[in-house]
Structure 1
Amino acid sequence: MKTKAVRLYGKGDLRLEEFELPKINDDEILAKVVSDSICMSSYKAATQGTDHKRVPNDVAENPIIIGHEFSGEIVEVGAKWANKFKAGQKYSIQPAIYYENGPVGVLSAPGYSYQHIGGDATYVIIPKDVLDQDCLLAYDGPGFYPASLAEPLSCVIGAMHANYHTTPGSYVHKMEIVQGGKMAILAGVGPMGLAAINYVISRTDRKPSLMVVTDISQERLDRAAEIFPESWAKDNNIELVYMNTGNVEDPVAALKELSGGTGYDDVFAFAPVAPVIEQGDAILANDGCLNFFAGPSNTEFSAKMNFYNVHYASTHIVGTSGGNNDDMVEALDCMSKGLDPAGLVTHVGGLNSVISTTLDLPNIPGGKKLVYTHKNLPLTAISDFEELGKENAFYAELAKIVAKTKGLWNVEAEAYLLENAPEI
């Protein structure tokens, strides 16, 4: 079968090409890709080339397919896996497979290391490396884009699970956020912050009694409150407060006052900005845990921390970078039960837009850029649909559909795009 895919040949060298996939072996699966969410990690791989730890040294001769947040449908199943998977089944992929015999050893991953699997393609071969690690995950929920966003949502889930607390007199760490505790999500109304708000409120097994979400942009805060209103949180037994710390003379004092003077059991910093980290440290309660969620690009990034409180108030810090396989499974389960991660998505496009989008990703505002790999569409902001629709019936209809969900991407919009957008 022929596939069209964006392949990496070296630093900044991405090419959209059509080529023949080999016939699958008994321990492989042929799959159609429907959607891929372009990640900053793909930008790093594309710009670093063989300097990237997951990219093989021979990509100039054996190019790899980029993209690792993808979903689609299984087309053909090798004999070894016929009892577990079937044609027509929807899927997602956990890319962090850590397979010791992969192209770059344990760091091998779809979207970085393989010639025949990556999200920015029309068809791929899912190798035994992925299947042996149980990293091909069935998805039974609506649409395809939620499964593409399972990986970023799993990062949020992993962060919540990674927080920990202690019991006086014991060295046993109790993992997870505090049930019924107080939580602050700082710089928390970007795409990943919105995913965190959605997950925290939607959880049924564990949740805080208070969640304060901060930012310095009133526009972003208002948008977050429109998508996830305080009333919805209240219906789920959470007091949700949005705070603009840019308008407050003493943000730490104001945040502590909101907590009733106790501080916060669980604090998440969603921006790699020193003042945000230091603010988070300053509002920790006794035995509070600060989770540094946002990954910095500066290898020398640092911030101050109050070590008096580390010693006498048992405050502590944890950092997470991605979710594991269990987090992916939980993300897919959440979405099959109704959690919609559409708040992450701000742009949609086709396979033809992948190269320019990937290489310029740091300069494109907004959240996730969602690509439909069988389509030929320019990368387009959802917020631009209405204006474009004045002269283009396709975007006019999409504008009407997303208006039903407060400007968010949705399953109906996806179905309309898949039915009406031009093929690549």
Structure 2
Amino acid sequence: MKTKAIRLYGKKDLRMEEFELPEIKDDEILAKVVCDSICMSSYKAASQGTDHKRIPDDVAENPIMIGHEFAGELVQVGSKWSSQFKVGDKFSIQPALNYENGPVGILSAPGYSYQHIGGDATYVIVPNEVMELGCLLPYKGQGYYPASLSEPLSCVIGAMHANYHTTPGSYVHKMEIVDGGKMAILAGVGPMGLAAINYVLQREDRKPSLMVVTDIDQARLDRAESLYSVESARAKGIDLRYVNTKEMASPAEELKDLTGGYGYDDVFVFAPVVPIIEQADAILAFDGCLNFFAGPSNPDFTAPLNFYKIHYEFTHIVGTSGGNTDDMKEALQLMGKGLDPAGLVTHIGGLDAVIDTTLRLPEIPGGKKLIYTHVELPLTAISDFEEKGKTNTVFAELHASCQKHKVCGTWKPKRL
């Protein structure tokens, strides 16, 4: 089986190549990739090359396929797995295998460490360890893009589950956000912040009474509110507020005032920016938990914390990097029940758009960039479909479909 894939050879050395995949072994599965959403982690891996912990040292000689947020269908199933999987099954993959015998040990992951599996490809070989570890996940919902976005959604699910609070007089930690508590999502209207808002609004087991979402870009805040309205949140018992902190004289004080001076039980930081971290620390309530979600590229990144509060007010900090397999299963189940992550996506493109998009990802405005690996298409903003549709019937049909399903609004990404 021939495949076409984007392969990493070194720092910022990505190449689109067509080559023959080897015959699958009895314990492997051949799969067709339909779509992959490009993650900032792929930009970091491409920029750092072998300095990245998940990238093997020998990629110059044995390049790896990039892309780890992908979905597709199974094409050929090795005999070992034929009773569990069948041809035509739709799937997603949990890339964080935690597999000690992988190409780079415990950190090995599809999209970073393997020669024959990654999301930015037409066909891939799923190695035995993915199935052994329960990381090949079936998807029963409509389409493919929700399954592709299950990995990023699992990251925010994991973040919510990882927060914890203490029990006075004991050393018992109560995992999870505070049910009925006060939550702040800072720098929270990027793609991952939108995923977090969507998840909080869809949860049935627990929810905050107040959820404050901040940013300094009013257009982004307006788009977030158009996707996840204050009214819909109120119907679920959540007081949702979108707040632009750009013009605030004292953002921490004014954000805390929204809680009546109490502070926030759960604060999530979605950008690796020192003032935002300081702000998050300042608005924590007694026993409040700060979750540093945003992964910095700089290994020396630091920010000050109030250790007086840590000691006397029991504030604490956690950091999460990705979700686990149970988080992905939860994401896929929610999507199978109708949770639609389409609002995260602002651009689509074909396999030919991957290299430029990956290497320039921080410069490209908007949310998730969704790649359809079997088509050729330059990266295109969904908000541009209408204009392009005036001269291109494909974009006209795409625009009509987006309007029908209320995918695109009037929001236009700010050009940098």
Q: TM-score if structure 2 supplies the norm length? A: 0.95
Give the Å deviation of 1:181: 0.7
Secondary structure, in 3 states, of the residue corresponding to 2:246? helix
User: Is residue 10–residue 50 contact of structure 1 (8 Å, CA) maintained in 2?
Assistant: yes
**How many Å separate the matches in 2 of 1:292 and 1:38?**
21
User: Is residue 156–residue 196 contact of structure 1 (8 Å, CA) maintained in 2?
Assistant: yes
Give the Å deviation of 1:131: 1.2
**How many Å separate the matches in 1 of 2:88 and 2:132?**
21
Matches within 5 A, 1:361-400: 361-400=361-400
Number of paired residues? 409
**How many Å separate the matches in 2 of 1:163 and 1:101?**
30
Secondary structure, in 3 states, of the residue corresponding to 2:299? coil
**How many Å separate the matches in 2 of 1:306 and 1:52?**
31
Give the Å deviation of 1:41: 1.8
**How many Å separate the matches in 1 of 2:408 and 2:338?**
15
**How many Å separate the matches in 2 of 1:302 and 1:54?**
23
What whole-Å deviation, never above 9, does each CA across 1:147-189 have from its counterpart, x for those lacking one?
1111111110111001000011011110000011111111111
**How many Å separate the matches in 2 of 1:49 and 1:256?**
42
Give the Å deviation of 1:302: 2.2
**How many Å separate the matches in 2 of 1:358 and 1:181?**
38
What whole-Å deviation, never above 9, does each CA across 1:61-99 have from its counterpart, x for those lacking one?
222211111000011111111111111110000111122
* RMSD value, Cα: 1.4
Secondary structure, in 3 states, of the residue corresponding to 1:247? coil
Percent sequence identity is 73
User: Is residue 345–residue 408 contact of structure 1 (8 Å, CA) maintained in 2?
Assistant: no
Q: Which amino acid aligns with 1:399?
A: H
**Residue number in structure 2 paired with 1:261:** 261
**Residue number in structure 1 paired with 2:209:** 209
Q: Which amino acid aligns with 2:50?
A: T
What whole-Å deviation, never above 9, does each CA across 1:363-413 have from its counterpart, x for those lacking one?
21222111001111111111111111121111122112212344449xxxx
Q: Which amino acid aligns with 2:339?
A: L
**How many Å separate the matches in 2 of 1:45 and 1:297?**
10
Secondary structure, in 3 states, of the residue corresponding to 1:131? helix
Give the Å deviation of 1:306: 1.8
**How many Å separate the matches in 2 of 1:73 and 1:264?**
43
**How many Å separate the matches in 2 of 1:87 and 1:291?**
41
**How many Å separate the matches in 1 of 2:297 and 2:202?**
31
Give the Å deviation of 1:274: 1.4
**Residue number in structure 2 paired with 1:175:** 175
Report whether the alignment pairs 1:83 with 2:64: no
Q: Which amino acid aligns with 1:197?
A: I
Q: Out of 8-17 and 209-218, give the one that drifted further.
A: 8-17
**Alignment gaps of 5+ in structure 1:** 410-424
**Residue number in structure 2 paired with 1:308:** 308
**How many Å separate the matches in 1 of 2:49 and 2:251?**
42
**Residue number in structure 1 paired with 2:276:** 276
Moved over 6 A (4+): none
User: Is residue 152–residue 322 contact of structure 1 (8 Å, CA) maintained in 2?
Assistant: yes
**How many Å separate the matches in 2 of 1:249 and 1:310?**
26
Q: Out of 298-307 and 17-26, give the one that drifted further.
A: 298-307
Q: Out of 211-220 and 8-17, give the one that drifted further.
A: 8-17
Secondary structure, in 3 states, of the residue corresponding to 1:97? coil
Residues 408/326 of structure 1: CA separation in 2 closer, same or farther (3 Å cut):
farther
**How many Å separate the matches in 2 of 1:57 and 1:311?**
43
User: Is residue 227–residue 406 contact of structure 1 (8 Å, CA) maintained in 2?
Assistant: no
Report whether the alignment pairs 1:336 with 2:343: no
User: Is residue 44–residue 297 contact of structure 2 (8 Å, CA) maintained in 1?
Assistant: no
Q: Which amino acid aligns with 2:363?
A: N
User: Is residue 402–residue 408 contact of structure 2 (8 Å, CA) maintained in 1?
Assistant: yes
User: Is residue 69–residue 149 contact of structure 1 (8 Å, CA) maintained in 2?
Assistant: yes
Give the Å deviation of 1:249: 2.4
Report whether the alignment pairs 1:18 with 2:12: no
**How many Å separate the matches in 2 of 1:276 and 1:407?**
30
Q: Out of 137-146 and 295-304, give the one that drifted further.
A: 295-304
**How many Å separate the matches in 2 of 1:325 and 1:309?**
34
**Residue number in structure 2 paired with 1:166:** 166
**How many Å separate the matches in 1 of 2:360 and 2:218?**
27
**Residue number in structure 2 paired with 1:353:** 353
**How many Å separate the matches in 1 of 2:359 and 2:186?**
29
**Residue number in structure 1 paired with 2:225:** 225
Give the Å deviation of 1:45: 2.1
Q: TM-score if structure 1 supplies the norm length? A: 0.93
Q: Out of 362-371 and 27-36, give the one that drifted further.
A: 362-371
Secondary structure, in 3 states, of the residue corresponding to 1:116? coil
Residues 29/359 of structure 1: CA separation in 2 closer, same or farther (3 Å cut):
same
Q: Which amino acid aligns with 1:180?
A: G
Matches within 5 A, 1:290-301: 290-301=290-301
Q: Which amino acid aligns with 2:106?
A: V
Q: Which amino acid aligns with 1:163?
A: N
User: Is residue 342–residue 408 contact of structure 1 (8 Å, CA) maintained in 2?
Assistant: no
**Residue number in structure 1 paired with 2:245:** 245
**Residue number in structure 2 paired with 1:419:** none
Secondary structure, in 3 states, of the residue corresponding to 1:296? coil
